[in-house]
Amino acid sequence: MQDSRVERGRLLVVEDEPSIRELLCASLRFAGFAVSSAATGGEALAAARSDTPDLVLLDVMLPDRDGFEVVRRLRSDGVRVPVLYLTARDGTEDRITGLTVGGDGYITKPFSLEEVIARVTAVLRRTLPGRSDSELLTCGDLSLDVESHVVRRGSRVVELSPTEFRLLHYLMRNSGRVLSKAQILDQVWSHDFDGDAGVVESYISYLRRKVDTAESRLIHTVRGIGYMIRP
Ligand code: CA
């Protein structure tokens, strides 16, 4: 587990607001990254040197010094790590300042976690050598990015819970094949899960509400057997 996380990329999350910091750290770890964190500019400078992250997510408004100052210090020390700023401010002056001191872009608060993961993935794909392109599963206009966990129906981003994501991933890996409820239960829930196939029916209906809304339906019930996804 540890190795695959380091393989995916090491991130440093710098954010003084504990709830945002913890949410970002948990979500990015869930998405497969190795994550360390800092709450101040001073901690960020120390962590950027000791943890050698592949990318820094950096809040602009920090209690001791602002994010731009942190990057100036890093760059003057020769640390070239890519930086994505997190900012509630979206004024032109801030954008120019950030780009001048070597940032790789902005994420404006409030942000969606999918947006953060997609942006991080895009920068790392460019900056980490030898990284393979992410695996993108598609079915009709539905797409699922295995690495970034971003699911889209057309241009609409679909927000899924972890269990819903695993279920959709399993269906899409087996697109066009009928999967029994027992197979789904076995693959998507842990082997020692002490539930019955009713949980599969429930989660299929949650997924349908999010994925199969107004558009043509992709998730099909095969009566007496199970479910299948196909265009
Ligand atoms: Ca802040």
Q: What is the pLDDT of residues 194-231, one digit of tens each?
A: 667 789 999 999 999 999 986 689 999 999 889 999 98
Q: Which of 89-103, 158-172, 217-231 has the lowest mean pLDDT?
A: 89-103
Give the mean pLDDT of 121-128: 83
Distance 92 CA to ligand 1 centre (A): 19
Q: Which two tokens stand for residue 131?
A: 């990284």
Full-model pTM: 0.55
If pLDDT is split at 50, 70 and 90, which confidence band does 145 have? confident
Q: What local confidence, expressed as pLDDT, does residue 125 receive?
A: 80
- Looking up tokens 């930086």 gives 83
Cis omega (within 30 of 0) on the bond before 110? yes
Q: How far is the CA of 39 from the centre of ligand 1 (A)?
A: 9
- pLDDT tens profile 5-60: 556 789 999 999 999 999 999 999 988 899 999 999 999 999 998 888 999 999 99
Q: Which two tokens stand for residue 6?
A: 């380091």
**Residue 185 CA to ligand 1 centre (angstroms):** 42
Cα 212 to ligand 1 centre (Å): 38
Task: Average the pLDDT over 143-167 and give the result.
Answer: 89
Q: Is the pLDDT of residue 185 over 70?
A: yes
Cα-to-centroid distance, 65 and ligand 1 (Å): 10
Give the sign of the dihedral formed by CA 202, CA 148, CA 53, CA 11: negative
Per-residue model confidence (pLDDT) at position 3? 47
Strands across the sheet containing 106-108: 34-38, 10-14, 55-59, 83-87, 106-108
CA atoms of 14 and 69, how far apart (whole Å): 13
**pLDDT at residue 80, as a whole number:** 86
The Cα 182–Cα 184 span in angstroms is: 5
CB 101 within 8 A of CB 146: no
